[in-house]
Structure 1
Amino acid sequence: MTTKTSAGLALVIGATGGIGGAVADRLLAGGWRLRALHRNPEAARRSSGRAGLEWVKGDAMVEADVVAAAEGVSLVMHGANPPGYRNWAGLQLPMLNASIAAAKAADARLVFPGTVYNFGPDAFPDLAESSPQNPRTRKGAIRVQMEQALARASEDGLRVLIVRAGDFFGPKPGNNWLSQGLLKPGRPISAVSYPGPLAVPHAWAYLPDVAETMVRLVEDEAGLGAFEVFHMRGQTLTGAALVQALEAVAGRKLSVSRLPWFAIRAMAAFNETMREMLEMRYLWEAPVLLDNRRLVARLGAEPHTPIEEALRIALAGLDALPHDRAALAA
């Protein structure tokens, strides 16, 4: 039987983003003191709406800034992510290396959100923590390099926690497939543009559930090893089931079409975001499922918000609920 670690001081890198913001909210709700790094802390303070969060000035690309921000913390959450799919090769590893240096200097646990991009079709459909990582994309290759850097750092004394999950969504607009691929934010939902066959299961991850999972794990620090990896099953749905849930939330029938891959292919030659989206197509063509048995054995159950509730909150955050439903939700 392990003992729950009392809440302490944590540093969140990327607190204005999706996963970083969700983890920041969960840590604050759990009584943690929280510090966040931002190049413009005053603007971040005004826009975040998070009371009790200490914003400090710094750049996630500058190791000295991150090390200074991490002084005295017991947890570093690395939630930094370049906007869109742009310049992953130039930004991701330097930012992660800065967080590694900071966590080492503070003797803190480093938490990292993993993805399915590490894996190729040879590992499908059921992905375990130890499944072979043979990515098909440049973004996936960078993800593998990042996890390898974390594994090397753990051999040098860093304590690491990686939680891998499917495609993130909600409760706010962000860099994800739901808000940037399937529907149009800022207008009542009437149509869905789906990237793959509607009969194929796909793994989604509601951000508050991912944050809850991460925080529960780190609060059981005594039960964690130096290098830990867990998979979340998340919201695993066929395209048809997702559309059905969206229709239930919207209270109307939705028109459904396939994402126009031909147009994305045409734009990919000139647009980095489109090129990276095109490379990810294979993840929609076959079942991609995460085996969460190890996580369930540790926590007893995986945190799981019912899909209609999660989508209702996500659509409200995207200003995509029909007006009558938005009023009801409010």
Structure 2
Amino acid sequence: MPKALILGISGGFGAATAEALRAHGWQLRALMREPTHLPPHLDGTEIVCGDARDHDAVWRATEDVELIVYAANPSNYRWRGMALPMLEVTARIAESRGLTILFPANVYVFDPADGPIFDETSPRCPQTGKGRLRLAMEARLERAARRGARVIVLRMGDFFGPHAPSAWLHHLIRRQASGCRLTTPGPSAMTHTWAYLPDAANVATALIATRDNLPAWNLFHFHGHRASLAEIAAALQAISGQPVVLHPMRWWPLHLLAPFSPLARGVLEMRYLWRCEIHLDDRKLCEIGLTTTHTPLGEALRRSWAMDIEQGNAD
């Protein structure tokens, strides 16, 4: 039975991919600083205590594994000075041991002026510091693929799902006494690209299953759902039977916090993503027989917020 190491198993993509891999017969191991943070639905996962920045800890954790799911991120947008050194540890070990790395990429590397549709050959011209850092991470993984590792990069839009507490959409949707409030960081009618995590994880798992037939370096785009916040509000209202009120986001508190908070600065830096459309073309995936949207939007939202919806119906 193949074994995978999950870095970032307590996060949205890490947890979803771990669940999909387990369903396809993989044994799971996780490197964690705090084992009590293992998601309950992933009980039984082998835990190695340690930090993804520690070479010795990652080396121990990669003993007898075939795959590293690299879903680790510095917390609270503290990427500068941390993200690249942390990835470097995994890249070097994967090169040495000939391991496959699965890496979730985002749309930060694109200039919206080049879009709105981007495929795997589109220019990567990031307009922010976060985007330039993500581009450097992708470049490091390309080098790893030339030095003995295998790399599968799956680029996605904004995550959402049943176990994604750090996702934007999770923070934008709030239960109220009657119904729900959906905060809108930008124009509510503007189409945005979303990645329902269980669907993305299933596609990632299918790519991993075909890794021996793929080149050492692989970049694929995940189409996901294209929906405006107004459409999401309508879908939530339809599945919950409760009113959903759109509420414009107040950005000024973040400007006040920015001098003191890396999180506030990071959120402000990404504000442009709510003003411009960036969509992903998945023809490359389709050419190898994979489709990237399986769960209808309404059903995906219902599964993601089942507990809140059931509570609202009970009220």
Aligning the two structures, in what range does the TM-score lie when normalised by the shorter sequence? over 0.9
- Which of 64, 74, 98 is equivalent to 2:66? 74
Structure 2 contact 15–163 (Cα < 8 Å) conserved = no
Task: Kindly report which structure 2 residues correspond to 1:1-330, keeping only aligned pairs within 5 A, or say none.
Answer: 8-41=2-35, 43-44=36-37, 48-85=40-77, 87-180=78-171, 182-184=172-174, 190-316=180-306, 319-321=307-309, 323-325=311-313
Structure 2: give runs of 5+ residues left out of the alignment.
none
What SS does the aligned partner of 1:31 have? coil
Which one-letter code corresponds to 1:165 in the other structure? M
What SS does the aligned partner of 2:101 have? strand
Paired with 2:269 and 2:40, the residues of 1 have a C-alpha distance of 33
> For residue 4 of structure 1, what is the aligned residue in structure 2?
none
Q: Deviations over 1:255-280 (max 9, x none)?
A: 11221123332332332212111111
What SS does the aligned partner of 1:321 have? helix
> For residue 3 of structure 1, what is the aligned residue in structure 2?
none
What SS does the aligned partner of 2:31 have? strand
Paired with 2:40 and 2:121, the residues of 1 have a C-alpha distance of 37
Q: Deviations over 1:221-246 (max 9, x none)?
A: 22211100000110111222111112
Q: Deviations over 1:112-162 (max 9, x none)?
A: 000011112232200111211221222111111100111111121221100
Paired with 2:314 and 2:97, the residues of 1 have a C-alpha distance of 45
Paired with 1:320 and 1:49, the residues of 2 have a C-alpha distance of 19
Same amino acid, percent of matched pairs: 38
Structure 1 contact 213–302 (Cα < 8 Å) conserved = yes
CA 1:49/1:275 → structure 2, altered by over 3 Å: closer, same or farther? same
Q: What's the TM-score, normalizing by structure 2?
A: 0.93
Alpha-carbon shift at residue 52 of structure 1 (Å): 3.4
Structure 1 contact 74–106 (Cα < 8 Å) conserved = no
Structure 2 contact 117–279 (Cα < 8 Å) conserved = yes
Paired with 1:79 and 1:121, the residues of 2 have a C-alpha distance of 25
Paired with 2:236 and 2:72, the residues of 1 have a C-alpha distance of 29
Paired with 1:25 and 1:150, the residues of 2 have a C-alpha distance of 24
Structure 1: give runs of 5+ residues left out of the alignment.
1-6
Which one-letter code corresponds to 2:13 in the other structure? I
Q: What's the TM-score, normalizing by structure 1?
A: 0.89
Which one-letter code corresponds to 2:139 in the other structure? Q
The number of aligned residues is 315
Paired with 2:170 and 2:157, the residues of 1 have a C-alpha distance of 15
What SS does the aligned partner of 1:197 have? coil
Alpha-carbon shift at residue 44 of structure 1 (Å): 4.1
Alpha-carbon shift at residue 103 of structure 1 (Å): 1.8
